[in-house]
Amino acid sequence: MNRRYGLITLVAVITILMVLVTASSLPGYIRESGNLYKPFEYAQMYLEDDPYSELIIEYDYVPGFEPSHRAMESLGEVVYAYTDKTSVIARVDDQIAFRDTKPIYTEDDIFELVDTYKSYQRGGNTMVLYVLYLDGAWKDENVLGLSFGGDRIIIFMNTIINVARRSQNLNPQDIESSVLIHEFGHLLSLVGRGYHSDHEDPDYEHHCDESAGPCVMAADIEIRMGRYSEPPPTDFCVLCQDDLEKIRHMEDDPGVEELITAVAVISIVVIGISWIVVLKPKKKDKEEEYLLYNEQYSNDMNK
Ligand SMILES: [Zn+2]
Ligand SMILES: [Zn+2]
């Protein structure tokens, strides 16, 4: 009988441990492996210092189109100004091989380049921002930069150089810094990515209407049709700054990972209880029945 109680205790302890481990680690595992993060959740990985207090910015580039020190410094200053990161490290990393370059880049070309050249992964207390500088143009040739996947930026440096040539008194770095910060702003969920913003440009989704003054999140920083007459802004307007505060406090609704976790936890509990029922000593019941019978019997006798 004691052995059975020992087994029941063991099953109960194992069940509770499995429930605790599943409930605490499964949602994170499903999110990470399925890449189920929403834009504002990536934004929070950049804005907050928990769990990532450090940021590595990895720059890969086509030779001749490397990032300028000025642009890298400007982005670093923006990170320190608007996020809680205590350390920002710029790593000028791989050169893109000539055979991997294209005159026009499509989504597939870019996914392949990122797969081949991205070196750093987020983990521990380190968040990673990946930036790729290219020579050729995006399939829509007026685009100066792109952001995607929550933590990647593409800069079409040759297109930026061409726009600078058409503009008076401007060098490519004047434009490059703005485009780089603009794309980082998109990764911070600006403007209206996953939330409602009342200053979103009605003609260009996810861009600032500049109703509070010049803003680096204006659409024409990224999609440049004409020429610039003066250097474009490199800072967020006050309304975009207010949005960043809003984004910091946004919360995630339960998603597929919570559902799968709930099913797993319920299954473990049901299996645990079934085992305990199977192991439950039967002898005790018989003893009780016997006592009850005796009681009944003696009651009858007393009558
Ligand atoms: Zn944009
Ligand atoms: Zn703005």
Query: What CA–CA distance (Å, rounded) separates 40 from 155?
Result: 22
pLDDT of residue 173: 93
pLDDT at 4: 79
Closest-lying ligand to the alpha carbon of 185?
1
Burial class (CB in 10 A: 0-12, 13-18, 19+), 274: exposed
Q: What is the pTM of this model?
A: 0.82
State in Å: Cα 206 to ligand 1 middle: 7
Query: Residue type at 69?
Result: H
C-alpha of residue 283 to centroid of ligand 1, in Å:
74
What is the Å distance from ligand 2's center to 206 Cα? 10
125 CA to centre of ligand 2 in angstroms:
30
Q: What is the mean pLDDT of the chain?
A: 88
Give the C-alpha distances (Å, rounded to integers) separating 212 from 23, 198, 241, 242, 293.
Answer: 45, 12, 11, 12, 87
pLDDT tier, 153 (very low <50, low <70, confident <90, very high otherwise):
very high
Check if the beta carbon of residue 239 is closer than 8 Å to that of residue 199: yes
CA-nearest of 200, 184, 189, 262 to 39 is: 189
At 32, is the pLDDT very low, low, confident or very high (cuts 50, 70, 90)? confident
Q: Do 250 and 192 contact (CB within 8 A), yes or no? A: no
The residues, ordered by sequence, that sit 6+ positions from 253 with a Cβ below 8 Å of its Cβ are none
**Within 10 Å of residue 97's Cβ, how many Cβ atoms?**
11
Indicate the residue type of 265: V
Q: Express each pLDDT in 255-292 by its tens digit.
A: 788 888 888 888 888 888 888 888 887 665 556 666 66
User: Residue 97: is its pLDDT beyond 80?
Assistant: yes
β-bridge partners, 147: 153
Question: What's the whole-number mean pLDDT along residues 108-113?
Answer: 94
DSSP reduced 3-state for 228 = coil
Q: With bands split at pLDDT 50, 70 and 90, how would you rate the model's confidence at 296?
A: low
Residue 72 pLDDT > 60: yes
Cis peptide before 270 (omega within 30 of 0): no
Q: What is the DSSP letter of 235?
A: S
Residues in the chain: 303
Q: Which of the ligands is closest to the CA of residue 200?
A: 2
pLDDT at 192: 94
